[in-house]
Amino acid sequence: MATALVYLDGDPRESALEAVTLARQVGEVVAVTPAALGEDAARTLGRYGVARLVHLETGGVALDAPAAVGQALADAATQLGATAVLLGSTFATKEIAAHAAHHLRAGLLIDVGDLRVHEGRLAGSKRAFGGTWDTSCAVTTECGVATVRPNAVQAEPVATPAEVQTGALTVTAAVPAGLELVGRQEHAGEGGRPPLAEAAVVVAAGRGTFGDFDAVHELADALGAAVGTTRDCVDEGWLPHDAQVGQTGVTVAPRLYIGAGISGAPHHIGGMSASQTIVAINIDAEAPLVEMADFAVVGDLASVLTDAAEAIREHRGGA
């Protein structure tokens, strides 16, 4: 049976389990991590059908630089005879994917929402041009590298959990000459909210807030959502740059995207158009985001968001 590697940068999050779920379509799944994971992680992965969990042993080379991780992953793929190497789809993992593909001389698919085998080669589909086109691509090489868009599928456990084999794999990795990670500052988590790029629900708000995000946070809390914003609001200093949804910010593809007080500039739409259900709240019924929404409320965002949050809490409380 074909082997599909899934790269995890730590304990399996929802997005990793989604990638594992997709990986099962194309082969027996081997999860690869930069450091050894605990028994809980192994058990979780087993429930999702992972056959093997291996951590990369580099002989002391730090797996920080994308070039080093990509090389290590490519070596693992070669040793394990993988025909697919899958990663999540963030800026950091795309860089690793590029280096892995370079070393494997493999075809590279980016941001796919599904995976299959087409005439013996890895294939996947993605949306393009602000969500207006669907494309599907196959690699022409024996092994393919793909990054998988979060929330494209629901992570599904297998009927019979697998007994996961765990162990280390010695691989070659080198950091490019002179390249050095000088510092890394983790951002304080925003009240336990999910990472924006992977969130299943995103509540985004724009200039229509006039800088007051209280109601936005209230609805996000009620929904367990990540909070996003627009370039305008970042420029105003209302929210940090890593909350910016858009083509040059964070690309999101949640199951539910709620955009409040956002008119829908092309840059913003390009960064959220792969969302499954789109809700807009705006005083302007003709705003582009309203026109592309599945459901829209014309009205003042502060009261609409607050009322919606209250109704959702009531529903949850009564459920």
Partner 1 sequence: MKHVPELESARAFSAEGRTVRSTEDGTLNEVDENAVEAALSLGGDEVIAVTVGPAPAVDAVRRALQMGADRGVHVLDDALAGADYAATATALAAAVRSLGPVDAVVTGMAALDGLGAVVPSLLAAELDLPQLTVAHEVTHADGVVTIEREVAGATETWRAPLPVVLSVTDVANSPRLPKMKEILAARTKEVATVSLADLSLEVGDVASRTQVLEASQRPPRPGPQLVTDDDGQGGRKLAEYLISEGLI
Strands 3-7 and 256-260: unpaired
Is residue 214 within 8 Å of residue 238, measured between CB atoms? no
Question: Measured from the CB atom, is 164 or 274 closer to partner 1?
Answer: 274
Question: Measured from the CB atom, is 98 or 158 closer to partner 1?
Answer: 98
Burial of 127 (0-12, 13-18, 19+ CB in 10 A): middle
Which of 298, 282, 189, 277 minimizes the C-alpha distance to 230? Answer: 282
**Burial code of 145-157, b = ≥16 C-beta within 10 A, e = fewer?**
bbbbbbbbbebee
Residue 160 phi, psi dihedral angles, 5° rounding: -120, 110
CB of residue 129 vs partner 1: minimum separation in angstroms? 4
CB of residue 17 vs partner 1: minimum separation in angstroms? 17
Question: Measured from the CB atom, is 167 or 299 closer to partner 1?
Answer: 299
d(CA 235, CA 207): 11
CB of residue 114 vs partner 1: minimum separation in angstroms? 12
CB of residue 171 vs partner 1: minimum separation in angstroms? 17
CB of residue 280 vs partner 1: minimum separation in angstroms? 7
CB of residue 208 vs partner 1: minimum separation in angstroms? 13
Question: Measured from the CB atom, is 83 or 90 closer to partner 1?
Answer: 90
CA distances to 24, 46, 51, 153, 227 from 158, in Å: 10, 9, 12, 15, 32
Question: Measured from the CB atom, is 50 or 219 closer to partner 1?
Answer: 219
Question: Measured from the CB atom, is 52 or 99 closer to partner 1?
Answer: 99
CB of residue 316 vs partner 1: minimum separation in angstroms? 7
Strands 121-128 and 28-33: unpaired
Pull the structure tokens for residue 269. Answer: 């739409």
**∠ CA 41-42-45, rounded to 5°:** 85
Q: How many Cα atoms within 13 Å fall on the side-chain side of residue 59?
A: 7
Question: Measured from the CB atom, is 60 or 129 closer to partner 1?
Answer: 129
